[in-house]
Structure 1
Amino acid sequence: MFFWKDKEKNKPTTIEHPVLGTLIKKTDWYTKKSFIITLWDKTFDLYLCIYSNQKDAVISFEQEEAIRYYLNNQIQIERDIQKMLLNFFHTSDCSLIEKSIQIEGLNFTRNGAISIGLIADFSDEFLEKHIGEDVIFTDSFGMSVYPIKAVLPNEKVYYNFNNKYEGDQL
């Protein structure tokens, strides 16, 4: 496990992580080096965010496991994301999604889940028309990619491939 202490105690606000390299403490931990995620033909240059407890800023064992899982399975995770987006928007035309979706961030939660924040430009009428009627989007939504694979459009409804669940079942 890795620890961070505040500046008042003369401890650094960066650490060297054995897998991710230099991590910088802001509100949470962020990688100094960016990582590339590719969906279809579009690449996103992202800094990974590791959520931390504000009191002690420990990176949990579950987060360490999730980081290793992500790095060892990145290509499969990218394929899963593509598949979930196509399924969620009821289309087989990836170009429609590709031009409307931007990845905002890749996050590792305290319990070891991996989630992705997405920003959507729903000016595309086809995509807008194919969003589930009970799903209300503003300008962003999330996806859980590990351990559960699900689209998280809002706090009340989420989609796990073809199965719809209500409430906090993640």
Structure 2
Amino acid sequence: MPGFTAPAVALLGAAAVLATAALTGFGSAWAVLAAAIYAGTSGLAVTRPLKGALDWLVPPVLRAAEYGTVLALAATADADGALPAAYGLVAAVAYHHYDTVYRIRGNAGAPPHWLVRAIGGHEGRTLVVAVLAALLTASQFTVALTVLAVAVAVLVLAESIRFWVAAHRGGSPAVHDEGETA
């Protein structure tokens, strides 16, 4: 794949799912189709190592697509609590991304595969939220988003706490460096 292909493919899928979620709104089967297209294009974008000059754009594009789709569907749900539940899910996933970055920066590797599988990956979560929006009423969707947010948060936080406590005890090089000056 040429250097611009991975970002272009990721952007195409992201644009499709974001535009569809925002324009068709809550309850649309089109959002499910767009989320399935997004899952395919995002997988295609990362089939090879991201080593091209613009490949650094792929992860932020995928994050924006996931976060934006969840928030757009919740905003159009017209149910009290849908948007706060969506923000809860986005916050739990954002924490997972933050934790992943600090593990990698500390040479401790990425989080375990079981965790990534258990929380569905960005494409899985996006597809699940689109399917829930298409199948459930607005109030049921709010409950489902809340349950999903809590489940993701519990799994991510429990594994993160376990890892950082073990790293601290074992003298692992994985350390947070927000306070670094240099």
Would you say same fold, with TM above 0.5? no
Name the TM-score, length of structure 1 as normaliser.
0.29
The structure richer in strand per residue is: 1
Tell me which of the two structures has the higher relative contact order, counting C-alpha pairs closer than 8 angstroms and 6 or more residues apart: 2
The structure richer in helix per residue is: 2
Name the TM-score, length of structure 2 as normaliser.
0.28
